């Protein structure tokens, strides 16, 4: 990873249950806008902030992510969070990445602007801001008022490390995809074909209460 130090490294965390074009679009759009050398897609292990308790097994989420990013040479899969046992904290992940790059990499944590509103609830906020900058990508339906309220609680220095990236956005969410599949509705053009085929083959999301799906 050391030759990437000249350009920043984007970290695209998410549950990716399943990964869709909204994720791929904000990653690629951030890469171009902020001249990032690489984007690490990092599916969450055992998320501490996610309110759902029926998250699909990480083996499936990893495989779907691998399939989705396969054609973009700037995208890479990181298993850092799923490999770590127990709850994962962003601050630990960033610390690890920083050390892995001898402390010199510029890390950009990419989030939808809805997700960034939760930052203040994360573990060790001051350290997180020392370790990375944020790219907050606007998402359809996003409230600037809520963002401004959150920004007011940060220090001036921390505020400067949040870069708002306004894109037209893509109106898609994993929740909507899971809902559509459970009702037998089409999801074509919301996510890559390879991911759609994988979901079909593994029989994922067919029932709304498909909790903790077992592997086939």
Q: Apex CA 158: angle with CA 157 and CA 163, to 5°?
A: 110
Enumerate residues 131-150 that contact ligand ATP by CB under 6 A. Answer: 137, 139
Binding test (CB under 6 A) with ligand ATP, winner from 175, 189, 197, 200? 175
Binders of ligand ATP: how many residues, by CB under 6 A?
Answer: 19
Buried/exposed code over 127-142 (b: 16+ C-beta within 10 A; e: otherwise):
ebbebbebbbbbbeeb
The answer to the question of residue 174 lying near ligand ATP (CB under 6 A) is: yes
Rounded Cα distance, 120 and 159, in Å: 12
* Least distance to ligand ATP, CB of residue 55, Å: 8
Q: Phi/psi of residue 162, each to 5°?
A: -110, 115
Which among 63-71, 89-97, 111-119, 146-154 is the span making contact with ligand ATP, rule CB under 6 A? 111-119
Q: How far is the CB of 177 from ligand ATP (least distance, A)?
A: 8
Nearer to ligand ATP, 99 or 146 (CB): 146
CB of residue 80 vs ligand ATP: minimum separation in angstroms? Answer: 16
- Tell me whether residue 86 or residue 141 sits nearer to ligand ATP (CB atom): 141
Shortest Cβ 25–ligand ATP spacing (Å):
7
Closest distance of CB 6 from ligand ATP, Å: 26
Residue 18 interacting with ligand ATP (CB under 6 A): no
Residue 114 makes contact with ligand ATP by CB under 6 A: yes
Report, in Å, the least distance between residue 59 CB and ligand ATP.
16
Applying CB under 6 A, which residues contact ligand ATP?
A: 14-17, 22-23, 26, 111-112, 114-115, 137, 139, 169-170, 172-175
């Amino acid at each position: 990873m050391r030759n990437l130090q000249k350009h920043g490294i984007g970290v695209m965390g998410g549950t990716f249950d399943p990964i869709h074009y909204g994720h791929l679009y904000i990653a690629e759009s951030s890469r171009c806008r902020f001249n990032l050398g690489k984007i690490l897609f990092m599916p969450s292990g055992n998320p501490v902030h996610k309110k759902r308790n029926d998250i699909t097994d990480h083996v499936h989420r990893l495989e779907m992510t691998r399939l989705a990013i396969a054609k973009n040479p700037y995208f890479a899969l990181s298993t850092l969070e799923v490999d770590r046992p127990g709850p994962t904290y962003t601050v630990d992940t960033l610390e690890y990445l920083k050390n892995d790059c001898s402390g010199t990499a510029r890390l950009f944590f990419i989030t939808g602007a809805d997700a960034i509103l939760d930052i203040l609830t994360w573990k060790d906020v001051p350290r997180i801001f020392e370790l990375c900058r944020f790219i907050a990508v606007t998402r359809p339906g996003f409230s600037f008022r809520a963002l401004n309220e959150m920004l007011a609680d940060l220090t001036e220095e921390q505020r400067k490390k949040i870069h708002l990236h306004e894109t037209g956005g893509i109106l898609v969410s994993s929740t909507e995809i899971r809902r559509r599949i459970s009702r037998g509705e089409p999801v074509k053009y919301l996510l890559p074909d390879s991911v759609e085929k994988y979901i079909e083959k593994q029989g994922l999301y067919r029932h709304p209460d498909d909790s903790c799906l077992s592997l086939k």
